Amino acid sequence: MSRLGCPYGTHRVIEPKGVLPQPAWKIDNTMELYDNEILVDVERLNIDAASFTEIKKRANYDETEIRRLILDLVAERGKHHNPNTGSGGMFIGRISKIGAALAGKIDLAPGDRIASLVSLSLTPLKIEEILSVHQNIDQVAIRGQAILFESGLYAKLPDDMPDSLALAVLDVAGAPAQTAKLVAPGDRVLVIGGGGKSGLLCLHEAKKRAGVTGQVVSLNPSAAACERVMSLGLADGTLQVDATNAIEVLNASREITGGAMFDLVINCVNVPGTEMSSILATRDGGTIYFFSMATSFTAAALGAEGVGKDVEMIVGNGYTTGHAAIALHVMRENPTLRKLFEELYV
């Protein structure tokens, strides 16, 4: 007898009923496969930066406590969905089994190695054992299994780069791909958090798309991050400013743009309280892309209204057409940036 679930996974929702898996508090993470699901043996989790930062701080950076918090979270909710940040992450693993209704209809076979391109915050996950914790790259090696729904996005792992590098890049694939869509020749672009993983990828795409007539600026809190961005040739200038200090960001942005302000601001930071900095740095009629999962969209909406700013604000959708291919291509076309990523994430 056919056993079909909802393509979007609502059949796995335990609490509250009637919602999709992502906003649900608890989902069913039993690994008995529905006919339109895919079972994956999971090898590694790449936890969202905002979520892992919060977990590490709560654990006081103690590895044993980090393990306990992650295991308890997944046991309680059936997924890795941090209630304090609302975010999850992604995984890499090997296809174990494909449901009968999907067999032959998708470009996967048992044994294929993939990266999930949907959030762990909606993915049924069961962890048997945490093998190692890599605090510096927000990754956890595990033995476990996960379910991909019929609607779930994935990418086959490339043969020309290490798994940990591909995972680090694919985790933020939406950011450089959206940047490629948003930046036009001649644009003035500010990347807040430009020294981080997603920020560096965004700077590469922004510099390429804005061209010689544009202006691409990276905002970072440390001199070392600013120097690194400039040494990589990813920006025309940097601002060493605390992104939570909106007035300092406003003044620095005004100075570096000669008062014109930025056509596009891309926010990639993993700390809260940077909404007003993004808004004040943007010209009237400009655009802000909030890729950061630490963003309060209430604060952004009310903050823009409060200062009389007519700006378009875009939610950082982690998916756009071709995002995996675009993000991985950055590593192939920018060997200097790839070398840095290999030093940081491999």
Which pLDDT tens digits describe the chain residue by residue (346 residues)? 569 999 999 999 999 999 999 999 999 999 999 999 999 999 999 998 889 999 999 999 999 999 999 999 999 999 999 999 999 999 999 999 999 999 989 999 999 999 999 999 999 999 999 999 999 889 999 999 999 999 999 999 999 999 889 988 998 899 999 999 999 999 999 999 999 889 999 999 999 999 999 999 999 999 999 999 999 999 999 999 999 999 999 999 999 999 999 999 999 998 889 999 999 999 999 999 999 877 888 999 999 999 999 999 998 877 888 999 999 999 999 999 999 999 988 7
Q: What per-residue confidence (pLDDT) applies to 303?
A: 94
Options 3.40.50.720, 3.40.50.300, 3.30.830.10, 3.40.640.10; CATH of 174-345: 3.40.50.720
Element (H, E) at 131: strand 125-134
Handedness of CA 153, 264, 295, 202 (dihedral sign): positive
Cβ neighbours, 10 Å, residue 240: 15
Mention every residue, 6+ apart, whose C-beta is less than 8 A from residue 253: 190, 217, 239, 261, 262, 280, 281
Cβ neighbours, 10 Å, residue 160: 9
Query: Alpha carbon 117 to chain centroid distance?
Result: 10
Q: What per-residue confidence (pLDDT) applies to 57?
A: 96
C-alpha pair distances (Å), 183 with each of 187, 215, 251, 256, 266 = 6, 11, 23, 19, 10
Q: What per-residue confidence (pLDDT) applies to 19?
A: 96
Helices (H), 216-333: 223-231, 246-256, 275-281, 297-306, 323-333
Q: What is the DSSP letter of 107?
A: S
What are the boundaries of each domain within the chain? 10-157, 174-345
Q: What per-residue confidence (pLDDT) applies to 240?
A: 97
Mention every residue, 6+ apart, whose C-beta is less than 8 A from residue 91: 40, 42, 43, 44, 45, 46, 115, 116, 120, 123, 125, 146
Q: What are phi and psi of 332, to 5 degrees?
A: -80, -30
Q: What per-residue confidence (pLDDT) applies to 2?
A: 65
Q: What per-residue confidence (pLDDT) applies to 336?
A: 96
CB burial string 314-326: b at 16+ within 10 A, e below? eebebebeebbeb
| Amino acid letter, 41 | D
pTM of the predicted structure, to 2 decimals: 0.84
- 21 vs 31: CA distance, rounded Å: 16
User: Which two structure tokens, joined as six digits, stand for 89?
Assistant: 């992450």
Q: What per-residue confidence (pLDDT) applies to 171?
A: 85
User: Which two structure tokens, joined as six digits, stand for 169?
Assistant: 């890049």
Handedness of CA 214, 334, 325, 136 (dihedral sign): negative
Q: What are phi and psi of 98, to 5 degrees?
A: -115, 130
Cβ–Cβ < 8 Å for 317, 174: yes
SS3 content of the chain, % helix, strand, coil (to 5): 35, 25, 40
CA angle 42, 44, 45 (to 5 degrees): 105
Cβ–Cβ < 8 Å for 101, 7: no
Q: What per-residue confidence (pLDDT) applies to 346?
A: 78
User: Which two structure tokens, joined as six digits, stand for 159?
Assistant: 């043969």
Q: What per-residue confidence (pLDDT) applies to 1?
A: 58
Cβ neighbours, 10 Å, residue 105: 10
